[in-house]
Structure 1
Amino acid sequence: MNKRLSTDDWLRAGFVALTEDGVAALKAEPMARRLKTTKGSFYWHFADIAAFHGALLAAWEDQAYANFVAQLEDQAGPVQKLRALGGISGSGTFDGNSGLALDPTVRAWAHSDAAVSQAVVRVDAQRMKYLGALLKDIGLTNPELVRILYAAFIGMEDMSATDAGVNGPAMGTLVDLILALYQ
């Protein structure tokens, strides 16, 4: 007898499908094949594809900020947290439900879906507010610095598939340059 699937099972499978095959894989039939079940099971949990997409997006948005902050909070102070940005870009663990590894995929999806784009904007705003607070803690209040650091983080996330190992030192260098210019 097959185990009854939960909404979380569908969402985890959806995140895996999204990262492996893109948004085109987020349809009832391919998802049912992936989980070796029927489309009826899909529709038991979600009224339609839009509801499934909405649930995926809500789950990502709920975790995106928390995952970002959690990986920086291990560091001792604001400078160390800023330097750690490069080390976490693209290196977040992906357990099928969360992790920074989803970010580039969700950003790609945002190019074709207004709701996803709005969610990315909200998450970006939260993250930049956090980075702004770190910069303020070390006496830097220029809002352009927040955008520069965050844009570097996003770019390193995209590049991490091929060269994640150099992100940490590169971000450290950027933080050092900013500190040298402003102190």
Structure 2
Amino acid sequence: MAQQPAKGAAGSGRRRRLSLEDWTEAGLQLLVTEGLGAVKISRLCTELGVTKGSFYWHFSDIDELMKAIATHYCSQDNDAARGLTSIEELPVRERLARMATMLVDDRAWAAEAAVRDWARTDPRVAESVRALDQRIMAVVESAFRELGFDAGAARVRAGTLVYAGIGFVYGRDSLTTPTVDEIQELLAVLTRQ
């Protein structure tokens, strides 16, 4: 959950003003932990220890907050949190190995599942998720191209990893999650010329 607002200077008892990011992070955390129905203005105000006036300073209504949450989660600015930014700088084989290992990282899956479920009912969120998927696909496809695969072979191999990742989001509760070694074995098969 987002941190409590800090007290103002010299212990004056005044809290710092929450930022747009404070609200979007708190909203995303609530979405992840309790679902879309839990994201309410009054609930967020209680969680953050502020009045509704603080909310309305940033947003005209809950829909505007929800749009900000979706935009933030799926934005290129959030790529650093996902590790995409640093991955693009790695040598190609290490880049693919790191991305493949991320497929079974538990830390991000709750948020990913919550946002993808939300995208099923909100076209704006669905568009943001599509854009994110396309960025990820482009990074993976580019890596296979760097390994010397032609455009078609690179697309098929990238699709295998990207679709596997999406499948892991939806299958985690009913299927055994592959180990890192199993994911690396899949990657070895996909990178074999």
TM interval, shorter chain, is: 0.7 to 0.9
DSSP-derived class of the 1:53 partner: helix
The unaligned stretches of length 5 or more in structure 1 are: 94-98
Alignment RMSD (CA, Å) = 2.7
Give matches, 1:1-183, under 5 Å: 1-3=13-15, 4-62=17-75, 63-66=77-80, 67-70=82-85, 72-73=87-88, 75=90, 77-89=91-103, 91=105, 102-140=111-149, 141=151, 142=153, 143-158=155-170, 166-180=178-192, 183=193
Q: 1:2 to 1:163 in 2, by over 3 A?
A: farther
**Higher fraction of helix:** 1
Shift of 1:24: 1.3
Per-residue deviation, residues 142-177 of structure 1 (Å, max 9, x unmatched): 222221111112233455689998442222111111
* TM superposition score normalised by structure 2: 0.77
Distance 1:155 1:107, change over 3 A: same
Matched with 2:5 is none
Unaligned 5+ segments in structure 2 are 1-12
How many residues are aligned here?
Answer: 175
**Of 120-129 and 55-64, the range deviating more from structure 2:** 55-64
Q: Percent identity?
A: 25
Q: Answer yes or no: is the 8 Å Cα contact 1:28–1:39 preserved in 2.
A: yes
What amino acid sits opposite 1:87 in the alignment? Answer: T
Asked which structure has the greater CA Rg, the reply is: 2
